């Protein structure tokens, strides 16, 4: 009869998985197990199905998961695809879509005030969403190495931006604060603001935009760490739905030393707090 030693602290039936032996099923069979219920505490039971294809493999040592590597892999896989010019509808098709939406609202698109509105909206959208035609990597391309040995934090704060919620196509208005720890070279300060602007001029969620800015600067500059904080008001909460004006949302993303060392995070947050006092 084959047995396996499990490294989890769960129990299956009457057999403990942590430090004891669990009777293993034959190849191709499966076993249901549930997590333990500790004395004096309620626990929500969850069934876990273990599929055994090779009994001998149960004795192989378990490898620790490198979460940073997993997150980095997910970041690359989940990068958003931007349609090429050839894949996009024409200007005339975009204007026709605006006209259709106006009719759906109940408007007479032939009246004087709306005759040129489809054309105006298409033109405005080209400006508001210009970030789809800009490469943040190019904006961050130039670096300066003559920094006199400076290796402390560089912080650009209160970068105003206007973006649009990808769920309702209504504005997100806020400020971005971006810092990095140089490692032999620095960026032109305007390049950081330009990076924020490029990502803001795309349909966004605030969480995604925060991560995009941090990882793009981290990849382009290879500093010792990047910190990004965004504070914004979402019109999808103020104009519709719950209609709560004045509420703001704060998101942060840290890489490198900012992620690993709480002292660097504290320095970043203290500098932002000082500017508000």
3-state secondary structure string across 176-244: EEEEEECCCCEECHHHHHHHHHHHHCCEECHHHHHHHHHHHHHHHHCCCEEEEEEEEEEHHHHCCCCCC
Residue 170 exposed, middle or buried by CB count within 10 Å (0-12, 13-18, 19+):
middle
Which residue in the list 177, 204, 206, 215 is annotated as catalytic? 206
Which residue in the list 168, 185, 231, 233 is annotated as catalytic? 168
Which residue in the list 58, 165, 261, 265 is annotated as catalytic? 165
Which residue in the list 20, 29, 93, 167 is annotated as catalytic? 167
Residue 167 among the catalytic residues: yes
CA distances from 149 to 98, 144, 145, 165, 212 (A): 55, 12, 9, 41, 28
Residue 234 among the catalytic residues: yes
155: left (phi over 0), alpha (psi -120 to 50) or beta: beta
- With beta carbons less than 8 A apart as the criterion, state whether 155 and 271 touch: yes
Residue 165 among the catalytic residues: yes
- Residue 137, helix vs strand vs coil: helix
Residue 185 among the catalytic residues: no
Which residue in the list 10, 107, 134, 166 is annotated as catalytic? 166
Which residue in the list 58, 231, 236, 259 is annotated as catalytic? 236
Computed on alpha carbons and rounded to an integer, the radius of gyration of the chain in Å comes to: 27
Residue 206 among the catalytic residues: yes
Which residue in the list 164, 177, 215, 234 is annotated as catalytic? 234
Backbone angles phi, psi at 119, to 5 degrees: -70, -40
Residues catalogued as catalytic: 165-168, 206, 234, 236
């Amino acid at each position: 009869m084959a047995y396996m030693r499990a490294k989890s602290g769960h129990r299956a039936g009457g057999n403990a998985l942590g430090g004891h032996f669990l009777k293993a099923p034959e190849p191709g069979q499966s076993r249901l197990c549930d997590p333990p219920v500790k004395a004096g505490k309620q626990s929500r039971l969850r069934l876990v199905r273990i599929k055994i294809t090779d009994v001998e493999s149960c004795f192989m040592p378990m490898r620790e998961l490198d979460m940073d590597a997993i997150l980095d892999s997910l970041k690359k896989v989940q990068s958003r695809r931007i349609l090429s010019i050839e894949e996009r509808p024409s200007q005339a098709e975009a204007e026709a879509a605006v006209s259709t939406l106006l009719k759906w609202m109940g408007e007479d698109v032939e009246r004087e005030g709306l005759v040129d509105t489809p054309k105006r909206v298409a033109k405005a959208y080209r400006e508001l969403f210009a970030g789809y035609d800009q490469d943040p990597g190019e904006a961050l391309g130039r670096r300066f190495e003559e920094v006199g040995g400076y290796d402390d934090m560089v912080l650009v704060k209160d970068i105003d931006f206007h973006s649009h919620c990808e769920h309702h196509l209504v504005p997100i208005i806020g400020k971005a604060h971006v810092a990095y720890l140089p490692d032999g070279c620095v960026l032109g300060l305007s390049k950081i603001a330009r990076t924020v602007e490029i990502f803001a001029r795309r349909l966004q969620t605030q969480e995604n935009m925060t991560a995009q800015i941090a990882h793009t600067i981290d990849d382009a500059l290879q500093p010792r760490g990047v910190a990004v904080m965004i504070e914004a008001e979402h019109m999808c909460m103020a104009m519709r739905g719950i209609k709560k004006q004045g509420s703001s949302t704060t998101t942060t993303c840290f890489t490198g030393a900012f992620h690993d060392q709480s002292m660097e995070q504290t320095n970043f947050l203290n500098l932002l707090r000082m500017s508000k006092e």
